Amino acid sequence: MRVLHTTRHGRIAQRRWIRTARRTPDGGAIRRIRTAPFLAGAFVLAAGMTLFAPTTAQAAVACTETALINAINTANSAGGGTVVLTKDCTYTLTTSHGIDTDGPDGLPTITTAITLSGNNNIITRSTAGGTLPFRIAKVASTGNLTLKGNITLSNGLAGTDGGGILNDGTVTLTASTLTGNTALGKGGGLSNADISAPATGATATFTGSTVSNNTATGRGGGIYNGIRSTLTTTSSFVNGTNTGSQGGGIAAIESTATTLTSTPVSTNHATLNAGGVYRENGTMTVTTSPISGNTPNNCTGSSPAVPSCTG
């Protein structure tokens, strides 16, 4: 019989044939018989099944404010990680869980690389009477926050910048939404902070995502892309009456780069000018991204002009 010998660590070491001898029915000459190799293979496979056991899926965080806060704190303490959210859960934040000179935040400040892996989730500031103001999240300069899997951040209320997210580090949104957030400064949905040299600016990337119905009393009702910061949007939407003083949809001020690809900017409003996109210096690229239907105009007042934008 052919067998595959294994070491004590389960690795295949060598092969050899073991021949069994049988006499013919008439008692004559001995003939050697080789067994089918696949039987030996089946034996070894069965013996080593534990070597190929599937990994266990990560458990989802329970659908409570406390569980979500604890999971993010644990990930920060561990140097980063993925937090899996319960399917279809709305995580309602009733109080702030992080605070610094930029004001209170609903989630603990993101100081490491953390992914919130969603499945049709909402993270929202409570609408109950008496709920104090706080933005949903702040990302520190060392932080890297990724939202994916149809996560919506809503009803943030910041006394300064970034009603939904204030970003000093790196933010990535994939198939996610910022809606109904308010900043009493810049960036109703998201604010890429103004960063002084020589520090590296903040970076925000939106893919297949939506920024809608956010409000800022300052620039950038939907998104503010600040000094030395970088904004990249692909196959996304900035629409639905985002409102700011300049740049109802997007304001880019002395930013390193603002790149819009397949991202319509429409039906936004500015209380001064450039209801769609407002620009002051910095590099800007606009590709297949119509800027239209904004009030009182689309990009008027920008210097230099916003590429591919009229009115």
% of the chain surpassing 90 pLDDT: 79
What is the pLDDT at residue 56?
56
CA distances from 252 to 11, 44, 182, 299 (A): 59, 63, 18, 12
Render pLDDT for 182-229 as a digit per residue (tens, 0 to 9): 999 999 999 999 999 888 899 999 999 999 999 999 999 999 999 999
Confidence class of residue 26 from pLDDT cuts 50, 70 and 90?
very low
Closest CA to 251 of 206, 178, 301: 301
What is the pLDDT at residue 93?
99
Residues of the chain with CATH 2.160.20: 65-292
Average pLDDT of the chain, as a whole number = 88
Q: How far apart are the first and last CA of the chain?
A: 84
What is the pLDDT at residue 284?
98
Confidence class of residue 58 from pLDDT cuts 50, 70 and 90?
confident
Confidence class of residue 13 from pLDDT cuts 50, 70 and 90?
very low
Closest CA to 302 of 216, 214, 219, 222: 219
CA distance 102 to 159: 8
- For residue 54, is the peptide bond before it cis, meaning its omega torsion is within 30 degrees of 0? no
What is the pLDDT at residue 7?
43
CA atoms within 13 A on the CB side of 10: 8
Render pLDDT for 97-148 as a digit per residue (tens, 0 to 9): 999 999 999 999 999 999 999 999 999 999 999 999 999 999 999 999 999 9
- For residue 304, is the peptide bond before it cis, meaning its omega torsion is within 30 degrees of 0? yes
What is the pLDDT at residue 32?
43
Specify whether domain 65-292 bears CATH 2.60.40: no
Q: What is the 3-state secondary structure (H, E, C) of the chain?
A: CEEEEECCCCCEEEEEECCEEEECCCCCCEEEECCCHHHHHHHHHHHCHHHHCCCCCCCCECCCHHHHHHHHHHHHHCCEEEEEECCCCEEEECCCCEEECCEEECCCCECCEEEEECCCEEEEECCCCCCCCCECEEECCCCEEEEECCEEEECCEECCCCCCEEECCEEEEECCEEECCEECCCCCCEEECCCCCCCCCCEEEEECCEEECCEECCCCCCEEECCCCEEEEECCEEECCCEEEECCCEEEECCCEEEEECCCEECCEEEEECCCEEEECCEEEEECCCEECCECCCCCCCECCCCCCCC
What is the pLDDT at residue 294?
98
% of the chain surpassing 70 pLDDT: 82
Render pLDDT for 219-276 as a digit per residue (tens, 0 to 9): 999 999 999 999 999 999 999 989 999 999 999 999 999 999 999 999 999 999 999 9
Render pLDDT for 149-163 as a digit per residue (tens, 0 to 9): 999 999 999 999 999
249 neighbors 276 (Cβ within 8 angstroms): yes
Angle CA(53)–CA(54)–CA(59) in degrees, nearest 5? 135
249 neighbors 273 (Cβ within 8 angstroms): no
CA distances from 184 to 135, 164, 218 (A): 11, 12, 7
CA distance 161 to 187: 6
Task: Output the pTM of the full model.
Answer: 0.83
